[in-house]
A and B are shown apart, each in its own frame.
Chain A
Amino acid sequence: MADDNPWPGRKAFLLGLKDSLGLPAIGVCAALFGYGVMVHEAGLDVVLLLVSVLTIWAMPVLMGFVELVSAGSPPLLAFVTLLAIAFRNMPMSVSAIPMIRNGPAFRWHHLVMAQILSPTAWVQITVVGRKISAPSRMPYYTAFSLSLLLSSLFGAWAGFTFTGGLPPALGIALLLLTPLFVIMTMATSPKLSSRMALVLGCIGVPVLMQWDSEWGLVVGGFAFGTAGYALSRLVEKRGKVQS
């Protein structure tokens, strides 16, 4: 019997598109606008900008990338730093992919699904995903994520292209956009340990980088991350004892 609906996921795809084309798309577009301005200021070209957004597709790693390029970091340091920064992608994939896929087995296209995953899409699929049927989740997620990616590419391109025509004060002020956006996004973490590590890292890592501009970042990340984790465990333990 012929299937009268050649594309059963069409409705879910359109819903994903509709849900992304509002605040989520505006948010990533604005954040990537700032990234485009930064890349322009770093003297890099627009092709590198767009390829970096497409391939890395994670704001902290993109920021790390442009900072390391600006500082002329050696490849080994760049690898260790970016590997540590990009770790956040793993728990995100582990928890999001089971929500999207059909069945428990690994399929090669899950790698593509993981590659287009962003924190915004992760939140969306873990919250909204439960409300839609399992077969509809893949087209929904694909539309939502691709729409965010396209918005980001547009934002980055616009930031890069139009920064020269902006009033100088605004052009410089826009460089503040992405660092603030990344810090605030990380500060919304529901875990106390993550928030404590963020605060300690924000204070301690720049100080350590004054001591050693290259390895101070990695050493500081591990030291203050561990300190934040230990401190939060202590606070939680005390809270349990008192209650």
Chain B
Amino acid sequence: MSVFESPWGILAIGFAASAFWRALGAVLAGKIEVDTPLFDWCVCVTQALVGGLMVRAILLPTAGLAQAPLLDRAGASALAIAVFVLGRGRIMPGVICGVAALAALLHLRWL
């Protein structure tokens, strides 16, 4: 296994990727316009990528969450999203409802 395949190696890659864009942004600050179609498209790619990764972490988890049945995970997430939408985009109530619902469902299942 090479250094970059270890968790510390992946962390170094993550830091490099994160710091690169931050540094580039700091250098270019005030010199470029961010409200352009190209920037919009790049942000869209990030949104799709991260969104997909998060849904996968919920629906197809590799560890931890996999102990909870799919139906419970999907139901709790759907409730969280519903509370978020009905609450006009307030994040914390949605998140808390989702986590509490999953905890309650698992507790009832394991009684």
Which residues of A approach B to under 8 Å, CB–CB?
27, 30, 37-38, 41-44, 48, 51-52, 55-58, 60-65, 67-75, 78-79, 81-98, 101, 104, 106, 110-111, 113-115, 117, 167-170, 172-177, 179-189, 191, 193-206, 208-210, 217-218, 220-226, 228-229
Contacts and interface: CB of A to CB of B under 8 A. Distances in A.
Contacts of A106: 26-27, 29
Given A30-B95, A94-B25, A173 B100 contact: yes
A201 B52 contact: yes
Contact of B44 (A69, A180, A194): A194
Contacts of A70: 62-63
B89 A188 contact: yes
Main secondary structure of the interface of B (DSSP, over half): helix
By Cβ-Cβ distance, the 9 closest A-B pairs, closest first, are A205-B52, A93-B25, A201-B48, A221-B49, A225-B45, A41-B64, A197-B44, A97-B29, A173-B103
Main secondary structure of the interface of A (DSSP, over half): helix
Nearest to A73: B10
Contact of B7 (A48, A200, A229): A48
B86 interface: no
- Interface residue range, chain B: 35 or more
Interface of B: 2, 4-5, 7-11, 13-30, 32, 34, 39-65, 67-68, 73, 76-77, 80-81, 84, 89, 91-92, 94-95, 98-100, 102-104, 106-107, 110
Contacts of B102: 169, 172-173, 176
B96 to A, nearest CB: 8
B29 A93 contact: yes
Given A75-B13, A87-B46, A209-B60, 12 more contacts: A44-B7, A55-B11, A63-B54, A75-B5, A85-B17, A85-B46, A85-B50, A91-B39, A97-B30, A98-B29, A169-B110, A209-B56
